[in-house]
Amino acid sequence: MMPQEALKKKVWAVIGATARTEKFGYKIYKHLRDHGYTVYPVNPNVTAIDGDVCYPSLRALPEVPQVVDFVVPERVGLEAVDECQQLGVEIAWLQPGADTSAVITKANEAGLAVITDCVLVQLK
């Protein structure tokens, strides 16, 4: 799948979203939101980002996202692939650093369409 195809999907989750404005987890979440996407921040260690509820897991979201953007270390990414598969998520977008060979392999084996790119670069 090409990045532009995934960007046509309008319901996203960002795993690893954070309230720390200097971090990519914040920048990606805010960028998607500012571009009109329905985007859910997911991080069990954060309760809110810019006044929006931050969810502890993908299972806790009010709807299943079409795309899950990964901004997490490998261990968390591997767990998130399982959750994506259980929920029927179609696309895993792996940011630089989250795109380890183990996560890519597991996501492919789980039947997810995998994109390895920076959403900030692709969403102009």
CA distances from 102 to 16, 18, 95 (A): 18, 24, 14
How much is the pLDDT for 1? 80
67 pLDDT tier (thresholds 50, 70, 90): very high
Which strand (E) or helix (H) includes residue 70? strand 67-70
Question: What mean pLDDT do residues 20-34 have?
Answer: 96
106: which residues sit within 8 A by CB, 6+ positions away? 78, 81
120 pLDDT tier (thresholds 50, 70, 90): very high
CB 84 within 8 A of CB 112: yes
Q: What is the mean pLDDT of the chain?
A: 96
How much is the pLDDT for 123? 87
> What are the tens digits of pLDDT across the range 41-59?
999 999 999 999 999 999 9
How much is the pLDDT for 4? 94
pTM of the model: 0.96
Share of the chain above pLDDT 70, in %: 100
Q: Minimal CA–CA distance to 66: which of 84, 86, 44, 43?
A: 84
CB 98 within 8 A of CB 71: yes
